[in-house]
């Protein structure tokens, strides 16, 4: 069963990722991104990270991809891009070599260091029928005790991002002219 979940989710993730890279229409690429994000959410559930799976679906698939689609529609760039020309000579083979090389190096490191890490920390509470919110409780306890300062700084970061975006996207010419 776990094997089936892994294979299905991995197929979703890889299909979506290849779609993002190869699709010429930005809207199709955004839809492929949704597929990848849902696959990642399934894997989070398989690791008992239920809160993160929910946040993944809500924030990524719900907010970030909608923002992408919104900008695509707003800018009118939803036409298919011409992918047949290579802007730089040999750009694609070189990029493929570098990308595959990075993956190969990381995979080699993972496989060769399989000897393993022992458990550290106090363990992860499994979500069961008796305690359906065990994961959320444990996560909240760590975030609001050890990481509470980082959490507060995060709110400042979001505020700065929102204000900065409003300032950048505003039409500056119409300020003061009454238009």
Please, which of residues 120-149 interact with other proteins by CB under 8 A? 120-124, 138-139, 142-143, 146-147
Q: Which of 57, 115, 133, 164 binds other proteins (CB under 8 A)?
A: 164
Task: Show the binding pattern over residues 33-72: x = contacts other proteins (CB under 8 A), - = does not.
Answer: x--xx--x--xx--xxx-xx--xx--xx--xx--xx--xx
Minimum CB–partner distance for residue 176 and other proteins (Å): 18
Q: For residues 156, 159, 163 and 168, what is the CA-based torsion angle, rounded to 10 degrees?
A: 80
Q: Which of 8, 73, 81, 131 binds other proteins (CB under 8 A)?
A: 81
Q: CB count, 10 Å around CB of 59? A: 13
- By rule CB under 8 A, what count of residues binds other proteins? 80
Q: Which of 8, 35, 89, 106 binds other proteins (CB under 8 A)?
A: 106
Question: Structure tokens of 164?
Answer: 């900065």
b/e sequence 87-125, b meaning 16+ C-beta within 10 Å:
eeeeeeeeeeeeeeeeeeeeeeeeeeeeeeeeeeeeeeb
- Is there a contact between 36 and 17 (Cβ–Cβ < 8 Å)? yes
In terms of CB distance, is 92 or 132 closer to other proteins?
A: 92
Q: Which of 14, 131, 132, 148 binds other proteins (CB under 8 A)?
A: 14
Question: Would you give the end-to-end CA distance of the chain in angstroms?
Answer: 63
Q: Binding to other proteins by residue 103, rule CB under 8 A? A: yes
Q: Binding to other proteins by residue 154, rule CB under 8 A? A: yes
Q: Which of 90, 115, 129, 168 binds other proteins (CB under 8 A)?
A: 168
Residue recorded with tokens 């500056």: 172
Q: Binding to other proteins by residue 30, rule CB under 8 A? A: yes
In terms of CB distance, is 129 or 168 closer to other proteins?
A: 168
**DSSP code string of 88-132:** STTHHHHHHHHHHHHHHHHHHHHHHTTT-----TT--PPP-SS-T
Q: Binding to other proteins by residue 100, rule CB under 8 A? A: yes
């Amino acid at each position: 069963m776990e094997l089936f979940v892994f294979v299905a989710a991995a197929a979703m993730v890889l299909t979506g990722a290849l779609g993002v890279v190869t699709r010429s229409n930005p809207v199709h690429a955004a839809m492929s991104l949704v597929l990848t994000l849902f696959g990642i959410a399934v894997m989070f559930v398989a690791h008992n990270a239920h809160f993160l799976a929910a946040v993944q679906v809500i924030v990524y698939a719900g907010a970030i991809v909608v923002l992408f689609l919104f900008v695509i529609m707003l800018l009118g760039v939803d036409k298919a891009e011409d992918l047949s020309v290579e802007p730089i000579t040999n750009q694609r083979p070189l990029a493929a070599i570098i990308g595959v090389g990075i993956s190969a190096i990381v995979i080699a490191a993972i496989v060769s260091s399989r000897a393993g890490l022992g458990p550290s920390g106090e363990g992860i509470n499994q979500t069961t029928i008796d305690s359906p919110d065990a994961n959320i409780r444990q996560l909240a306890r760590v975030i609001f005790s050890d990481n509470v300062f980082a959490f507060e700084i995060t709110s400042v970061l979001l505020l700065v991002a929102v204000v900065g975006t409003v300032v950048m996207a505003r039409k500056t010419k119409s300020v003061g002219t009454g238009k």
